[in-house]
Structure 1
Amino acid sequence: MRRQTILRSPWQPGPAADAHHGPALVSFTDFTSDTFRRSWSVAVDGLRLRRTWPETPGAIGMWLWADPLRRRSGSVAVWADEARLKEFVGRPDHIRIVRAYRGHGVLRSTDWETAGFDAADTWAHAHHLITGGHTA
């Protein structure tokens, strides 16, 4: 069996990181590209989108991740609430990326609520989804 190499960006806090102490919504995305070349380009587009993260209202923080040998990449984003996540999903720069890769792979996503955000627990849950769990 081939060993998985999961790459993860450093935690990128959002503007709600310091002020938020209650329940949070975690959004997990997983894109499996149909080609290796496209898998790298979607990861680069994710990094570009990440640049605006520190100004995104309601964002607690995020990680980007990649599993290059399996042509997979995605994000683990933590939000103050569902309304803020929906605002982000509807942003033109996010919509552009989704449309650019539609039909060029498989996009899966799931989200879950936490009573209080804990970075280690959140990443452990996401890592389980990456390495063998299933998304919705």
Structure 2
Amino acid sequence: MLRSRWCPGPAGGRLGDRAAARGVDSGARGRPSGPLLVSVTDFTSDTYRDLPGIARRGFALRRRWPHLDGAVGMWLWTIPSARRCGSVAVWTGQRALAEFVRLPEHVAIMNRYRRRGTTRSVILEYESLDTARIRRDAEAWLMSDDHRRDAGETPRRMT
């Protein structure tokens, strides 16, 4: 799996994992009390030829990340040999995630590629920002269906 660098959002603060590990607030400014939401998306393209366009649009959308209210941080990831790509995004709450999903750029990507592959996603909750744990959990979820595919089973569809 290839992964982009962590892209911090305006709600991410500067303390990150070390502060969370010591029980100190993660530094997420303006964050309401309650859990952080982590959105993990997995798109499997029907063809290899769509991957460059998806990557270009994904990185263009990522440039907006540092300016999105409620965005804590994110990674983009890909497994080119499996025609798969997606993101792991950390949000201060449901409202921030919903506002992102409605962004015109996000809607345009989804409209263009939704029927050209299979999308699955999951929302995970965390009480504090621990990027190492979030990454491990996201990768475990992303790889969980690989074993099912290899066994000829139908992958889960989570949205």
Give the structure-2-normalised TM-score: 0.78
Please give the alpha-carbon distance, in whole angstroms, between the structure 2 residues aligned to 1:67 and 1:40: 13
CA contact (8 A) 1:59 1:84 kept: yes
Q: For 1:34-53, list aligned pairs within 5 A.
A: 34-53=46-65
Please give the alpha-carbon distance, in whole angstroms, between the structure 2 residues aligned to 1:91 and 1:62: 16
1:16 partner letter: A
Partner of 2:105: 93
Please give the alpha-carbon distance, in whole angstroms, between the structure 1 residues aligned to 2:43 and 2:97: 18
- Cα deviations across residues 99-128 of structure 1 (Å, max 9, x unaligned)? 000210001111011111200000001111
Unaligned ranges ≥5, structure 1: 1-5
Percentage of matched positions with identical amino acids: 45
Partner of 1:7: 2
Runs of 4+ deviating beyond 3 Å: none
> Which structure dedicates a bigger proportion of its chain to strand?
1
Report deviation, 1:129.
Answer: 1.8
Equivalent in 64, 67, 78 of residue 66 of structure 1: 78
> Which structure dedicates a bigger proportion of its chain to helix?
2
What's the RMSD between the two structures over aligned residues?
1.4
Higher Rg of the two aligned structures? 2
